[in-house]
Structure 1
Amino acid sequence: MTDVSLVPWSADDLDVLRRANTPELMDQMGGVETDEQVIARHARYLRLRAEGTARHFRIVIPGHPEGVGMVGYWQHEHDGEPALESGWSVEAEYRGLGIAPAAVGAMLEFARADGEVLRVHAYPRVDNLPSNAVCRKAGFTLLGPLEFEVKPGIVLHTNDWVHDLSATAASTA
């Protein structure tokens, strides 16, 4: 497995979001953001962490303490039930090295250790083969396709993947 560490999101991580604000990566979220939108998203990550409703992390690998991407989870509602939603991005030059699956796996372990028991969903676009592979490698189960609104008025054709933290916690106890 790739040597990956997760560092809790901090005020110093704005540049991680700026580096991820590329057409290729932001296509999954409805398009590239303005710098003001990136700054607002960064502030939202910090606020949600302070409120205890989300956890975001900078993905760190040896030799790159500045981070090579981000991963996180936040409270979400799925089919009217409380759940968690997860997301991640890895900078282009570090893709294909096993970083994303290792980071998502580490994030799930963090959530479990933090006492989370809700189901964690991920919604990569159906045509995003690498992100769908990350879900599979990280132990998610494919529920099927879903029309998912990533932003008001922006609906993407995604797959709904789920990881049940309570089932995993029960099976490892």
Structure 2
Amino acid sequence: MDTEQVRLVPGGPESGEKLAARHRRYVGLSSGRMYRVTLADGGETVGSVGFWERSWRDAPIWETGWGILPEFQGRGLAAAAARAIVVEARAAGGHRYLHAFPSVEHTASNGVCRRAGFTLLGQAGFEYPKGHWITSNDWRFDLTGGDDG
């Protein structure tokens, strides 16, 4: 993880124990999916992207998030992965909206949301990781093709 990423993740990098616990949560998702982001020219894994169910403002939604290894950033891979996850969340059905909640300071992830076609709804207090509150941007994609997306 590069210095910029560490600065933008509340609590800093995850310990091996926390990383393993997060992996178990992803494997055990009862709704939603996690995917590897791979290079088209050889299949090398360069990150991950996924969506999962959560309640937001008293309504069920899909939430999404992604991560690309530092040496592969700046190539448009995260935006392509975010566009692909929109397709997967739409196919999964169940919720009208897919949201992303990057920190207001995380310019790269906010740019990914913009390039992937999400609509910025504004800022919100957001708990990430659990026990750490941040100010995030609330980006939304309307999976029905309605008012945004």
Shorter-chain TM-score above 0.5? yes
The reply to whether residue 25 of structure 1 matches residue 27 of structure 2 is: no
Aligned residue number for residue 40 of structure 1? 21
Aligned residue number for residue 97 of structure 1? 75
CA distance in 1, matches of 2:129, 2:77: 27
After superposition, the Cα gap between the structure-2 partners of 1:152 and 1:112, relative to the gap in structure 1 and judged at 3 Å, is closer
Aligned residue number for residue 34 of structure 2? 56
After superposition, the Cα gap between the structure-2 partners of 1:156 and 1:122, relative to the gap in structure 1 and judged at 3 Å, is same
SS at match of 1:166: coil
Aligned residue number for residue 126 of structure 1? 104
- Any idea what the Cα deviations from partners look like across 1:18-42, whole Å, max 9, x if unmatched? xxx6664353354211111111111
SS at match of 1:40: helix
- Any idea what the Cα deviations from partners look like across 1:60-99, whole Å, max 9, x if unmatched? 1134424100001100111011011110011111111111
Aligned residue number for residue 73 of structure 1? 51
Q: Give the deviation of 1:135 after TM superposition.
A: 0.3
State the percentage of identical aligned residues.
39
- Please tell me the root mean square deviation across aligned C-alpha atoms, in Å: 2.1
CA contact (8 A) 2:97 2:142 kept: yes
CA distance in 2, matches of 1:104, 1:163: 11
After superposition, the Cα gap between the structure-2 partners of 1:39 and 1:153, relative to the gap in structure 1 and judged at 3 Å, is closer
CA distance in 2, matches of 1:98, 1:121: 20
Q: State how many pairs are aligned.
A: 147
Please list every run of 5 or more consecutive structure 1 residues that lacks an aligned counterpart in the other structure.
1-20
Q: Give the deviation of 1:45 after TM superposition.
A: 0.6
From the two aligned structures, give the one with the greater helix fraction.
Answer: 1
After superposition, the Cα gap between the structure-2 partners of 1:29 and 1:121, relative to the gap in structure 1 and judged at 3 Å, is farther
After superposition, the Cα gap between the structure-2 partners of 1:155 and 1:64, relative to the gap in structure 1 and judged at 3 Å, is farther
CA contact (8 A) 1:68 1:94 kept: yes
CA contact (8 A) 2:60 2:95 kept: no
The reply to whether residue 138 of structure 1 matches residue 116 of structure 2 is: yes
AA paired with 2:86?
L
AA paired with 1:121?
H
> What TM-score do you get using the length of structure 2 for normalisation?
0.88
Aligned residue number for residue 16 of structure 1? none
Q: Give the deviation of 1:166 after TM superposition.
A: 1.8
SS at match of 1:109: helix
